[in-house]
Structure 1
Amino acid sequence: MIIVISLLCTQRSFAGVSDSLNVTDIIERSLQREEYYNTYAKLPSMLRFWDKGDFALISSGYSSSKGDYTHPQLLFSRNLLEIKTESVKTLSKKGLRFFGSVAYTNGNASTGEWNLSYYLPSNGSPFYYMVEQEGTWKTQSYDFNVAIQKSLSNRLSVGVAFKYLGDLNFRTFDTRNESYTLDMQILPSITMSFGEKSFATMGLFFNRVKNESAIRNKYQHGTEPERYHLFLNQGLGTWDNSPSQMRTIDARYGAVASFRYLKGSKIMDFIYSIYIADEDWLLKSVSTLQERKENIARYSYFCQDFAVRYRENRESGSWISNLDIKNILGTGAVYKETVGLFQDNYELFKVKANLYLAYLRERSLLRRVSANINFDNTGQNDFNYGHTIDYNNLEGTLSADLSLGSIERLNFIIGGYGSYKMNISGKHNPMAASGNFYNTQIAMPAFAYHTSNFYRVGLVLGTEFNLRESQRVEVNLKGDFIKPVSISNYESSASFTLEDNYMNISVNLVFNF
């Protein structure tokens, strides 16, 4: 059903000249899509009040990343191919507006030691499978998104958004893992306008993420068998060295509220969302004779997001500002059969903040200048060992884009950016876990990476031209280079040196209809 609606949105956009062709250039089209995902994907009933026109596109791209300056458990290289279609379509007479997108990616990757799960948990969970041996992977993903908005009256609008994401990650050498993840979300919302200058929105959402892994070794390992020994990580030194085959279900329940205020050419949105969640680790099979509990581990967490969106259009140019703050509080617990209760053994506190400011001018050589600041505060605690990890990082970025050529015919965009990330503070106290392999082989190398300082430089090249009157083509090439400049902690345990680096490159071909 989601695929049908997505394709229908695209086909209807193709039927006529899309309003996206009236958007001046690559940069404005990119901002248009970012604005959708930053605001309207979270508030589908607000689609009616989006002042941007409809658009439709089909894109294909290739991305590659490689280097030794990376988290020791994560990606040392990755190569991906992607194809995507995306569109917004308005049916004014029926009071309807649609968004639809379909994307497919396929590629391969190599990951570091002590990770049998491809990614590490993005929600802060301590639970994941691990073996010492590095991994090589084949990966695929299917991503479907649909939003529908209906105007009920001049003041009232309703909407609903659906998301379906399927991740298939296959570890190709021992230890094998066939990991299947299904991520489904539904988000209904309702918007009421109070005159012409203020709007209030309320919404609910339910998100269910299910992962199932099939883990096995194909070959017997006569040498270094310990490198293939399977563990289930449960904290910062707490682990199970003989885990059963399990599946995970992460169920999230939440609400979102927003308020929009208009004043002249200024638009300001305040968006707040909150949800509670339980990630349960369930045995795939339970024998009634053993009377074992199906749920053997749980990570419960509370998350809240606050965002401010500001846009002002002037004759001299446009200002855009975004502020995002996210907080996660999580607790990990393991079921103890001896007492028949869950016992807390891990806690997480995390705050991430981002401030973005940009100034844009149409038909100007200096098309856009922007500044960005990222802040990350992370704290972890393992109750069993008293093992604590805390660090604070700050990264600042400056960028500029030049527009060369003719917007009406052939146009070129040249952009560049540079950033510097510095560790503000870091404290690692392993306590009773000091001799634990988790501390020496995982925590110390990861802490060296998290508290290191680096610089990043990047280049963006783009061109666009009309293929036909109703079609505009973009070709984009992006690349960046990341280089560490100092290692604040555990230099001798780090998985990288100051001579290492990390590089990303991508190329995309986009057809706008």
Structure 2
Amino acid sequence: MLSFRAFSQSLNDSSYFYQQAVNSLNTYQANNNFLINNNLNRLGSAKLFYQHNEGGYKPVQQAHRTTLAGVFTEGINKFGRFASSGYFGFTRTWQDSLSWSTKGLEEDDQPYYYGSIKAGNFERIKYQLGGNLAYNLIKDKLYIGGGTKFLYNSSTRSVDPRPEVNTFNITVTPELIYRIKSQYFSIKAKWGYGTEISTISFKNIDYKLSTNGYPDRVNYLIMGYGLYKNNQGVAEPLRRMDKHYGLGFNYSASINKKVKTKAYFDYEHIQKDFYQTLANSVNRAYTGFYDTDLLRFFLQTDYQSGHINHQFLMNYSNQLSNDINAIFYAINYRYKQNLAQVKYLVHFNKTKKLSPEFGVNAVYKQVAKTDYSTAHYVDYTWLEPTVSAGVYYIPNKANKFYAGLGIAYRKSLEGSLSVGANQENLFTYWIAYPDYSYHTSSAYKIGGELKYVTSNVLNQFKTGLSVKADYYQKDKIHAVFQTAKTNIGNNLLRVDLSLNLYF
């Protein structure tokens, strides 16, 4: 029993220590297919985390300074014919100098939301809960399972106009898995439902009643990328109802015990209705509708050759969205995005006390936004390749150390911005022009990470401490607009700290 316990603890903390193992652990919890086809029977972790972001190298509708703190727990457990995984997270966020946006989840593509020129401090609270559960219906052949995700987010700020945004979302994913020797095939469906309520209030009556005297305090309803209207004095909250429908295919296999591969392909359709309820009525006044088609593809392959471990990962997503604006009862806003990431890691001599790891990573992003009524069109494409190196040091059974370094360069590949004649407005000056300067700029990036895991603190559990930092330094700006109301900064710093417990 003691030998098994020691082996189990070593396996658990190693799953959170090695970078390739961390990637695999995240993959295992993506769906029931991957959960079943792995050699982990029981493990878990809990962490307290702190994150700080500061700098002006960012889009306009992001805060200059953001601080997050919270707790996150996760685990995997297999018992009898059951396999399960789950997680719980609580995050509190503080932001300063955030203007032109009251979005609850700060989604880039969202067309309908409130905003004002006046910047203010935001506080956000987020709860996340979810997991997967599978049952072996026909021994080692047929499995049934399901997953669920729950999210609640609340956002407020302390400056007039004062928003309060409450977001709720739940998704369910039933799944059927069939095994053929060392291969697992599965099909899953997805259903989701969500709501969001955005309320605006004022403490200063002068700001509330004025529409022109205090221009920075005017509350605008944004309706795309250039279209907006003065919403001052409207007391009824802006409401949103979300519906999600999807279908996915998952595949995992082990080949000769040296090669492991996992892949999935998902399609999801999302419908969002934006509306306000009429006073003393059950009827609704619709602002607009927003439909999204989303495709996702994922591939991970692990290969062990002697004392060398290889890992290849690829992520790709394609999003096509458009609204139906109630003013025109026609399409006014379109959003397109292609996002791809490719990563390769190679780890030498994992069983030695000192073992190096090297990697390459590339992120590609392409975005296009169109607002037909105001003749605003923008598109941009950038590529960010990274080279990294790290070293693991395990001097004894009680302690583990890791140090890693990565160097990257974000390169703007192409971009264009078009604004119709006589169509420039506040949105153009405050958001469209400076954001285009940011998205078509280039920057250097350097990042580092330190990890320490020990069993000297607690006898029954291993504890860990990790520190990670990324720094961006602006290199070139390809477009500068004299009429822009704000300019992007020169740098951005992000620091992550966490205290971890493995069990």
Q: TM-score, normalised by structure 1?
A: 0.89
Per-residue deviation, 1:375 = 0.5
- Partner Cα separation in structure 2 for residue 217 and residue 428 of structure 1: 36
CA contact (8 A) 1:157 1:191 kept: yes
DSSP 3-state at the match of 1:343: coil
The residue that corresponds to 1:311 in the other structure is 302
Question: Identity across aligned pairs (percent)?
Answer: 16
1:227-246 aligned at under 5 Å gives the runs 227-242=216-231, 244-246=236-238
**Does 53-62 or 439-448 show the bigger shift?**
53-62
**Does 277-286 or 342-351 show the bigger shift?**
277-286
Quick one: structure 1 residues 369 and 491, their matched pair in 2 at CA, closer, same or farther if it must change by over 3 Å? Answer: farther
Does structure 1 residue 218 correspond to structure 2 residue 203?
Answer: yes
Once the two structures are superposed, residues 34-91 of structure 1 have per-residue CA deviations (whole angstroms, 9 ceiling, x without a partner) of 33433x4442244221233421112112111111111111121111211122111111
- Partner Cα separation in structure 1 for residue 272 and residue 141 of structure 2: 39
Does structure 1 residue 360 correspond to structure 2 residue 347?
Answer: yes
CA contact (8 A) 1:449 1:494 kept: no
Once the two structures are superposed, residues 461-500 of structure 1 have per-residue CA deviations (whole angstroms, 9 ceiling, x without a partner) of 12111134531111111112111111111264384456x2
- Partner Cα separation in structure 1 for residue 287 and residue 477 of structure 2: 39
DSSP 3-state at the match of 2:23: helix
The residue that corresponds to 2:261 in the other structure is 268
CA contact (8 A) 1:137 1:171 kept: yes
Runs of at least 4 residues of structure 1 off by over 6 A? Answer: 15-18
The residue that corresponds to 2:66 in the other structure is 78
Quick one: structure 1 residues 60 and 469, their matched pair in 2 at CA, closer, same or farther if it must change by over 3 Å? Answer: same
- Partner Cα separation in structure 2 for residue 263 and residue 308 of structure 1: 15
Gaps of 5+ in 2: none
**Does 389-398 or 222-231 show the bigger shift?**
222-231
Q: Which amino acid aligns with 1:155?
A: K
DSSP 3-state at the match of 2:107: coil
DSSP 3-state at the match of 2:330: strand
- Partner Cα separation in structure 2 for residue 41 and residue 209 of structure 1: 23
- Partner Cα separation in structure 2 for residue 495 and residue 373 of structure 1: 30
Does structure 1 residue 258 correspond to structure 2 residue 267?
Answer: no
Does structure 1 residue 351 correspond to structure 2 residue 338?
Answer: yes
The residue that corresponds to 2:274 in the other structure is 281
**Does 51-60 or 502-511 show the bigger shift?**
51-60
Per-residue deviation, 1:285 = 3.6
The residue that corresponds to 1:296 in the other structure is 287
DSSP 3-state at the match of 1:294: strand
The residue that corresponds to 2:48 in the other structure is 60
CA contact (8 A) 1:120 1:128 kept: no
Q: Which amino acid aligns with 2:379?
A: D
User: How many residues of Structure 1 are paired with residues of Structure 2 in the alignment?
Assistant: 487
Per-residue deviation, 1:268 = 2.0
The counterpart of 2:90, out of the listed 95, 104, 107, is 104
Per-residue deviation, 1:507 = 1.3
Quick one: structure 1 residues 32 and 404, their matched pair in 2 at CA, closer, same or farther if it must change by over 3 Å? Answer: closer
RMSD (Å) for aligned C-alpha atoms: 2.4
DSSP 3-state at the match of 1:448: helix
The counterpart of 1:452, out of the listed 441, 465, 470, is 441
Per-residue deviation, 1:434 = 4.1
Quick one: structure 1 residues 53 and 511, their matched pair in 2 at CA, closer, same or farther if it must change by over 3 Å? Answer: same
The residue that corresponds to 1:8 in the other structure is none
The residue that corresponds to 1:198 in the other structure is 183
CA contact (8 A) 1:185 1:206 kept: yes
- Partner Cα separation in structure 2 for residue 118 and residue 187 of structure 1: 24
**Does 390-399 or 357-366 show the bigger shift?**
357-366
The counterpart of 2:113, out of the listed 105, 128, 131, is 128
The residue that corresponds to 1:180 in the other structure is 166
DSSP 3-state at the match of 1:237: coil
The counterpart of 1:475, out of the listed 465, 473, 476, is 465
Q: TM-score, normalised by structure 2?
A: 0.91
